[in-house]
Amino acid sequence: MKGAATATAHANIALIKYWGKADDRLHLPRTSSLSVTLDGLETTTTVVFGGAPQDELVLDGVPRSGEQLRRVSVFLDLIRSRSVESRPARVVSQNRVSTAAGLASSASGFAALAAAGARAAGLDLDDRALSRLARRGSGSASRSVFGGLVVWHAGSDDATSFAEPVPCGTDLSVLVITLSGAPKAISSREAMRRTVRTSPLYEAWATRSTEDLREVSAALERGDLESAGPVIEANALGMHATMLAARPAILYWMPETLGALAAVREARAAGFPAWATIDAGPNVKVVTDAAHSADLLGWMRRRLPEATVTANGMGHGVRVREGAEL
């Protein structure tokens, strides 16, 4: 079908966090970030230009309106402004990212939308251009364009802020610990804005984050998770410290979050390579390697019987094809 394409993209977990924008409109980050793209957790999206009288969004089987539709429509405007396509589009999107896991679906969602939308509109974008486009939908989506270990260069303008894959000398695995009863939290977009504006700790974290990224990329390139792990954990805890110092404070953690952090420390004491990271929510992710993943998964499930724990290996980048599949 002309004007139609489908793409699948995977979620990613940041090892060095993106927290704070230098430009709100272009989604230029204050700092570069480093992530691992995960298998299993994916979004598939079909875009059909001319498929509806006005832009439409069906997400996980439910027609959406309001802010969700508006965000997609603004993104489609960007694609239309760069192509010969001017028709409204029907967008159908299906997540296999467990929303209960508190894994942001915006990274896989906008990476898939960018790839499907660009292809459906007849734009021929290389990976870098696609990453820049996905960034305009959601910052972290720039990283989900690629598989494996990925760096998103902060850059200084639209042209220089893009992600690309980097070498990784070890096969990483990420355990996602989903805690029960997570409350609806403040959006990461609003939280990062408030942190940059009001937290006296923000500049210190941002400065240190640049060094953290250098250290972790170098360590992972040589396959040295033992050196990377402590920096990965410190970078995430430092990000949450900036939020605690914001006014008013932002606290994503629950009591169970501390319990999970304690379990990660115990796992390390028991000899596992295991370091925690936490995003804009209460859940804890554990960075380990593929060789220890199954044993650590069993250990964590026994240690945290109330939580849901899954293990995720490294996933590939976005895949796009012609035609409507959804």
Closest residue by beta carbon to ligand 2P0: 139
Alpha carbons 256 and 282: distance in angstroms, whole number: 8
Instruction: Please tell me the count of residues contacting ligand 2P0 according to CB under 6 A.
Output: 15
Q: Is 18 in the site for ligand 2P0 (CB under 6 A)?
A: yes
Binding mask 253-272 for ligand 2P0 (x = CB under 6 A): --------------------
Closest contact distance (angstroms) between CB of 34 and ligand 2P0 is 9
Query: Cis peptide before 53, with omega less than 30 degrees from 0?
Result: no
Q: Which amino acid, 168?
A: C
Residues in 169-228 that interact with ligand 2P0 by CB under 6 A: 188-189
Q: Considering beta carbons, is residue 6 or 188 the nearer one to ligand 2P0?
A: 188
**Beta bridge pairs of residue 63:** 58
Query: Given the rule CB under 6 A, which of 2-10, 136-144, 174-182, 240-248 is the region that contacts ligand 2P0?
Result: 136-144
Q: Considering beta carbons, is residue 4 or 113 the nearer one to ligand 2P0?
A: 113
Q: Considering beta carbons, is residue 31 or 293 the nearer one to ligand 2P0?
A: 31
Query: How many degrees, rounded to 5, is the angle at CA 128 between CA 127 and CA 132?
Result: 115
Q: How many CB atoms lie within 10 A of CB 230?
A: 14
Alpha carbons 9 and 115: distance in angstroms, whole number: 9
Alpha carbons 265 and 259: distance in angstroms, whole number: 10
Q: Is 14 in the site for ligand 2P0 (CB under 6 A)?
A: yes
Alpha carbons 293 and 34: distance in angstroms, whole number: 21
Q: Considering beta carbons, is residue 93 or 138 the nearer one to ligand 2P0?
A: 138
Burial 92-121 (b: 16+ CB within 10 A, else e): bbbbebbeebbbbbbbbbbbbbbbbbbbbb
Compute CA distances 99 → 56, 83, 86, 122, 258, whole Å: 22, 33, 33, 32, 21
Q: Is 140 in the site for ligand 2P0 (CB under 6 A)?
A: yes
Burial 20-29 (b: 16+ CB within 10 A, else e): bbbeeebbbb
Closest contact distance (angstroms) between CB of 305 and ligand 2P0 is 27
Quick one: DSSP state of residue 66? H
Closest contact distance (angstroms) between CB of 21 and ligand 2P0 is 7
Closest contact distance (angstroms) between CB of 325 and ligand 2P0 is 25
Q: Is 146 in the site for ligand 2P0 (CB under 6 A)?
A: no
Q: Considering beta carbons, is residue 241 or 324 the nearer one to ligand 2P0?
A: 241
Q: Considering beta carbons, is residue 17 or 30 the nearer one to ligand 2P0?
A: 17
Q: Is 138 in the site for ligand 2P0 (CB under 6 A)?
A: yes
Beta-carbon-side half-sphere exposure of residue 282 (alpha carbons within 13 Å)? 18
Whole-number CA gyration radius for the chain: 19
Q: Considering beta carbons, is residue 7 or 36 the nearer one to ligand 2P0?
A: 36
Binding mask 90-119 for ligand 2P0 (x = CB under 6 A): --------------x-x-------------
Q: Is 31 in the site for ligand 2P0 (CB under 6 A)?
A: no
Q: Helical H runs in the chain?
A: 66-81, 106-120, 127-137, 141-144, 188-198, 202-221, 225-244, 255-269, 290-303
Query: Given the rule CB under 6 A, which of 88-96, 119-127, 138-146, 286-294 is the region that contacts ligand 2P0?
Result: 138-146
Q: Are 250 and 19 in contact (CB under 8 A)?
A: no
Q: Is 303 in the site for ligand 2P0 (CB under 6 A)?
A: no
Residues engaged in binding ligand 2P0 (CB under 6 A): 14, 17-19, 27, 33, 104, 106, 138-140, 188-189, 279-280
